Amino acid sequence: MSTLAANAPGAPGGGLADVAASEATLRRFLHGLPGVDQVGLEARAATLGTRSIKTTAKAFAIDLAISMIDLTTLEGADTVGKVRSLCAKGLNPDPTDRTAPQVAAICVYPDMVETAKTALRGSDIQVASVATAFPSGRAGMPVKLADTAEAVAAGADEIDMVIDRGAFLSGRYLEVFEEIRAVKEACRRPDGSSAHLKVIFETGELQTYDNVRRASWLAMIAGADFIKTSTGKVAVNATPPVTLLMLEAVRDFRAATGTQVGVKPAGGIRTTKDAMKYLVMVNETLGDDWLSPHWFRFGASSLLNDLLMQRQKLRTGRYSGPDYVTVD
Amino acid sequence: MSETAMRIEVFKTYKLYVGGKFPRSESGRVYEVTDTKDQWLANAPLGTRKDTRDAVLAARAAVKGWSGTTAYNRGQVLYRVAEMLQGRREQFTAEVAAAEGLGAKKAAALVDAAIDRWVWYAGWTDKVAQIAGGANPVAGPFFNLSTPEPTGVVGVVAPRTGHGFSLLGLVSVVAPAIATGNTVVVAAAEQAPLPALSLGEVLATSDVPGGVVNLISGRTADIAPTLASHQDVNALDLAGAIDLEGPGAAAALEASAADTLKRVVRPAADPSAVDWTASPGTGRLLSFLETKTVWHPMGI
């Protein structure tokens, strides 16, 4: 591929392929990104969280949020039965109301992909699988790639990989870059199509907003289809400022390269109010282009129940309770 | 002018009591509370449907812990409430006198009766299982045991009429519900909420876990229907539902409670004639219980 073609907008790597030519160029690029105004970012995220969304707009937001959920179970205690019942819930979230939309995807560990795939046969719901030694990412490359390949072979439509935070924090950016590239390669199926790749940064471990911005660009240049905040396994998960920062990064990346990348906040989003704050942020930062399950997802499990309870409240006028939704 | 004459009195800001905390109403609004001669007493927070919803959440969260404590421990906590109330007898005497238009002596007697009522229900906590449960005779080699368990979250429309309604009446409806392990959300008497709001301060300092009792002042016609229709409220005490028509009327509340199969205690036939000083009996104590029956093989 000529340099010209590799740098063209819309090319893989988003026209920034030269950036990753060497460790030095990559570092120069990432450290050359403008610094994050922490106070401004947090104030902006807080302001966007104060919007009042009521009545029909609220009903729209609730249905949109449900359709954006990656319904997740990532426990050591997961069983085939639990994954099946989660799939059933994803297909038909509110048994008392068939108009409730389906979720976007079911997110499981690689060994559960086949179970989920079978349970969801014939539906539009995707099966997402975490991979690459989730959640710590502490394993050798062959293990990570085998983990990914196994999930893809089992039929996963989407792969949620974790980056090596240790390498990133010690400044070995090219290593992280190559890792994402290799996993992206492992997402390829024999028929030439490819599983969607979501790259998890674990922002709670990246220490600074500047690092989150760098990680976002790094992953997007390496070819991520989605960038995702967290695993949900550490103390600090998705927060509004971090998500806003990532939304700004995908906006700037599209402006620079023409490639659109999705965003998935995950972990700690439990209430309808939280979800609506995120949707407001998406709308204000990115606009309609991203307001679809194709470009924005929530990684959540308990959020769905709260959305359903709010939905029942709008429909019946009475406050609902946990007795009227399933126990997960 | 002397220095004492120049002093400006410090008014008390009455607040809601929800989840062990004292929030202002989410609406930010207050309404004026007057005594029986229309003299201004204080501003009380105007609780809304949303405040009520938040209170139900707090009450639900408290059910597990409170119903899980031993009956003996609950009795101690209720007795502690009586102790704390005793220490603030003067304040409550003044508030009850203003709320019900009584002289200081009569009001003090009502406060004393309220303190005694806490003690009375404190004694009941570990005895109720003996009158509401027990071993059942069965024709087989089994033990068959019935035990009463708390219903869950109880919505209470606090009494608004009757001799002693403002504090003694309130205690007479709240104490029996929590004695058996339920948690409550109380719609305080709309015209006389001050003793109820002050009772929140007593509860907060007497080992009652946050969320077990939640007190909301405001329009009964807003709060009571929210409790009646809320799907996460398990029972309803309509002691103060005295409106003859409208959304706060007992019949309307009972109808919407029926939609979610709540237990309902109806108001007295003539609520204004109720004398809250009369012996309460066990009626309310036994109203918010579910019977659990277990069969157990008798062994060899």
Domains of chain A in start order, with CATH, are: 18-316 (3.20.20.70)
Nearest-10 crossing angle of helices A303-316, A55-67: 150
What is the pLDDT confidence band of residue A10, given thresholds at 50, 70 and 90?
very low
Report the Cα A3 to chain-centroid distance in Å.
31
Q: Which chain B residues are Cβ-neighbours of A321 within 8 angstroms?
A: 56, 60, 230-233
pLDDT of B4: 62
Return the number of CB contacts < 8 Å for A and B: 28
A324 — contact with chain B (CB < 8 Å)? Answer: yes
Confirm if B52 and B23 have CB atoms less than 8 A apart. no
Confirm if A77 and A91 have CB atoms less than 8 A apart. no
pLDDT of A8: 47
pLDDT of B116: 97
Beta pairing class for A262-264 and A226-228: parallel
- Mean pLDDT score of chain B: 95
Task: Give A206's contacts (C-beta < 8 A, 6+ positions apart).
Answer: A165, A168, A169, A212, A215
Please give the backbone phi and psi of residue A93, each rounded to the nearest 5 degrees, phi first: -60, -40
What CA–CA distances, in Å, run from A60 to A67, A100, A291, B192?
Answer: 11, 11, 12, 42
What is the pLDDT confidence band of residue B47, given thresholds at 50, 70 and 90?
very high
Task: Give B227's contacts (C-beta < 8 A, 6+ positions apart).
Answer: B52, B56, B155, B157, B185, B187, B233, B236
Q: pLDDT tens, B54-77?
A: 999 999 999 999 999 999 999 999
Averaged pLDDT, A167-195:
95
pLDDT of A1: 37
Task: Give the Cα-Cα-Cα angle A150, A153, A157 (nearest 5 degrees).
Answer: 105
Query: b/e per residue, A291-312, with b = 16+ CB within 10 A?
Result: bebebbbbbbbebbbbbbbbbb
Q: Which chain B residues are Cβ-neighbours of A323 within 8 angstroms?
A: 231-232
- Mean pLDDT score of chain A: 93
- Checking if the pLDDT of B225 tops 90, the result is yes
pLDDT of A5: 43
Query: b/e per residue, B263-286, with b = 16+ CB within 10 A?
Result: bbbebeeebeebebbeebeeebbe
pLDDT of B288: 97
Q: In angstroms, rounded to a whole number, what is the distance separating the alpha carbons of residues A206 and A51?
A: 29
- Checking if the pLDDT of B180 tops 80, the result is yes
- Checking if the pLDDT of B209 tops 60, the result is yes
Among residues 30-89 of chain B, which lie with CB inside 8 Å of chain A? 53, 56, 60
Nearest CA in chain B to A324: B231
Tokens 């970012």 belong to residue: A41
pLDDT of A7: 46
HSE-CB of B256 using CA atoms within 13 angstroms: 22
Task: Give A116's contacts (C-beta < 8 A, 6+ positions apart).
Answer: A83, A86, A87, A106, A108, A127
Percentage above 90 pLDDT, chain B: 93
Q: In angstroms, rounded to a whole number, what is the distance separating the alpha carbons of residues B256 and B258?
A: 5
Best residue in B48, B232, B256 for a mutation probing chain A (most A CBs within 10 Å): B232
Does any domain span residue B46?
A: yes
SS3 per-residue string spanning chain B: CCHHHHCCCCCCCCCCEECCECCCCCCCCEEEEECCCCCEEEEEECCCHHHHHHHHHHHHHHHHHHHHCCHHHHHHHHHHHHHHHHHCHHHHHHHHHHHHCCCHHHHHHHHHHHHHHHHHHHHHCCCHHHHHCEECCCCCCEEEEEEEEECCEEEEECCCCCECHHHHHHHHHHHHHHHCCCEEEEECCCCCCHHHHHHHHHHHCCCCCCCCEEEECCCHHHHHHHHHHCCCCCEEECCCCCCCCCCCCHHHHHHHHHHCCCEEECCCCCHHHCECCCCCCCCCCCCCEEEEEEEEECCC
Confirm if B275 and B164 have CB atoms less than 8 A apart. yes
Does any domain span residue B5?
A: no
Best residue in B231, B256, B259, B262 for a mutation probing chain A (most A CBs within 10 Å): B231
Q: Which chain A residues are Cβ-neighbours of B232 within 8 angstroms?
A: 319-323
Q: In angstroms, rounded to a whole number, what is the distance separating the alpha carbons of residues B141 and B292?
A: 20
B230 — contact with chain A (CB < 8 Å)? Answer: yes
A323–B229 C-beta distance less than 8 A: no
Distance from CA of A89 to the nearest CA of B (A): 21
Residue B274 in tokens: 């109720």
Confirm if B78 and B121 have CB atoms less than 8 A apart. yes
Averaged pLDDT, A183-197:
95
Averaged pLDDT, B33-39:
94
* Active-site annotation holder among A160, A225, A274, A306: A160
CA atoms B208, B211, B213, B214: torsion sign: positive
Q: pLDDT tens, A276-328?
A: 999 999 999 999 999 999 999 999 999 999 999 999 999 998 999 988 998 87
Report the Cα A234 to chain-centroid distance in Å.
16
Q: How many CB atoms lie within 10 A of CB A256?
A: 14
Does any domain span residue B9?
A: no
What is the pLDDT confidence band of residue B3, given thresholds at 50, 70 and 90?
low
Confirm if B185 and B214 have CB atoms less than 8 A apart. yes
ipTM: 0.83
- Checking if the pLDDT of B299 tops 90, the result is no
- Checking if the pLDDT of B198 tops 60, the result is yes
Confirm if A281 and A244 have CB atoms less than 8 A apart. yes
Nearest CA in chain A to B228: A318
Does any domain span residue B2?
A: no
pLDDT of A13: 52
Averaged pLDDT, B27-52:
95
B53–A320 C-beta distance less than 8 A: no
Q: In angstroms, rounded to a whole number, what is the distance separating the alpha carbons of residues A283 and A158?
A: 24
A273 is catalytic: no
B60–A319 C-beta distance less than 8 A: no
Q: What is the CATH number of the domain that holds B191?
A: 3.40.605.10
Q: Which chain A residues are Cβ-neighbours of B56 within 8 angstroms?
A: 319, 321
- Checking if the pLDDT of A14 tops 70, the result is no
Q: In angstroms, rounded to a whole number, what is the distance separating the alpha carbons of residues B170 and B156?
A: 9
Residue A15 in tokens: 């026209």
Range of the domain at B115: 14-297
Q: How many CB atoms lie within 10 A of CB B129?
A: 16
Question: What three-state secondary structure class fits A291?
Answer: coil
- Checking if the pLDDT of A72 tops 80, the result is yes
Does any domain span residue B183?
A: yes
Range name among A220-224, A314-318, B166-170, B176-180 with the lowest pLDDT average: A314-318
Percentage above 70 pLDDT, chain A: 95
A54 — contact with chain B (CB < 8 Å)? Answer: no
* Active-site annotation holder among A89, A117, A264, A277: A264
Distance from CA of B231 to the nearest CA of A (A): 5
pLDDT of B6: 87
Task: Give B174's contacts (C-beta < 8 A, 6+ positions apart).
Answer: B156, B158, B184, B186, B213
Does any domain span residue B8?
A: no
pLDDT of B5: 73
A228 is catalytic: yes
If you ran DSSP here, which 8-state letter would residue A21 be given?
Answer: S
What is the pLDDT confidence band of residue A16, given thresholds at 50, 70 and 90?
confident
pLDDT of B298: 80
Nearest-10 crossing angle of helices B89-100, B104-124: 120
A117 is catalytic: no
Does any domain span residue B174?
A: yes
A72 — contact with chain B (CB < 8 Å)? Answer: no
Distance from CA of A303 to the nearest CA of B (A): 16
* Active-site annotation holder among A117, A198, A228, A277: A228
- Checking if the pLDDT of B1 tops 60, the result is no
- Checking if the pLDDT of B233 tops 50, the result is yes
pLDDT of A9: 47
pLDDT of A328: 77
HSE-CB of A320 using CA atoms within 13 angstroms: 19
- Checking if the pLDDT of B137 tops 80, the result is yes
Q: pLDDT tens, A247-285?
A: 999 999 999 999 999 999 999 999 999 999 999 999 999
Averaged pLDDT, A150-173:
96
A305 — contact with chain B (CB < 8 Å)? Answer: no
Q: Which chain A residues are Cβ-neighbours of B260 within 8 angstroms?
A: 318
Q: Which of B98, B214, B209, B99 is nearest to B156 (CA)?
A: B214
pLDDT of B2: 57
Does any domain span residue B273?
A: yes
For chain B, how many structural domains are there in total?
1
Q: Which of A269, A325, A276 is nearest to A300 (CA)?
A: A269
A319–B230 C-beta distance less than 8 A: yes
Residue A52 in tokens: 């009042």
Question: Whole-angstrom distance between the N-terminal and C-terminal Cα of chain A?
Answer: 50
